[in-house]
Homo-oligomer: A and B are copies of this chain.
Amino acid sequence: MITSPSSLRRSERSRRAILRASLDLCTERGYGRVTVEAIAARAGVSKKTIYRWWPSKGAVLLEAFADVLVDATPFVDTGDIGADLRAHVAGAVRVLSVPPFGPAYAGILSELHHDDTLARAVREQLVDPRVEEAVGRLRGAQDQGQIPPGANLPLAVEMLYGPVYYRHVLGKPVQDEETVAALVDHVLRALRAPGY
């Protein structure tokens, strides 16, 4: 976690109340109206306690959000690379379409441009692991001959996630499975097309 002041005296009770309150407030008012003061009041916690363990409200919500996303985007190898990619992306899309997670993540993303610490945390804890898993799965498919050698796998993953983020940020989130399927289909087609 981003936390760190190293202490075992930390109150688990307070931590849970804070994460819970921040998600509740996000549901009720939307990310933009969540404030550290409101979280503290709702959780029955001192502002100081929040600042002691998290650097910003974005970090609080990131922690509250991360577990959910990790659970929702498992990565398995069924042998069918298309099915596996569809399941993976569909998991993310599904989480983002269930309040408060979609708005919360949009809110977190909105802080990245002025909060480098948070940006690094998001990349290291959320994005990179998922990208690497996806690249790894693609590489497995490549080894099995389902994808030509020399294919630009990182770019492929960006073509997969890119539209999801693009539409989420612009407020027209991807909602349906068909779009996910079409996306995966096109990416795989690009990789398999002649030209490498």
Contact = CB atoms under 8 A, between A and B. Distances in A.
Interface of A: 30-33, 103, 106-107, 109-114, 116, 119, 122-123, 127, 152, 155-156, 158-159, 161-167, 169-172, 179, 182-183, 185-187, 189-193, 195
A182 B169 contact: no
Contacts of A155: 163, 179, 182-183, 186
Q: Is chain A's interface secondary structure helix, strand, loop, or mixed overall?
A: helix
Say how many copies of this protein the assembly contains. Answer: 4
A158 B159 CA distance: 9
A169 B112 contact: yes
A189 to B, nearest CB: 4
A191 B155 CA distance: 16
A103 B119 CA distance: 14
A117 to B, nearest CB: 11
Give me the 10 closest cross-chain CB pairs, A-B, nearest first: A162-B162, A32-B114, A162-B163, A110-B110, A190-B190, A106-B113, A162-B166, A189-B193, A193-B193, A186-B190
Contact of A113 (B31, B112, B166, B192): B31
Nearest to A159: B159
Given A127-B170, A159-B163, A114 B30 contact: yes
A101 B131 CA distance: 28
Contacts of A183: 155, 159
Contacts of A106: 112-113
Given A30-B114, A31-B113, A31-B114, A186 B159 contact: yes
Contact of A164 (B119, B127, B162): B162
A47 B44 CA distance: 24
A88 B119 CA distance: 28
A113 B107 contact: yes
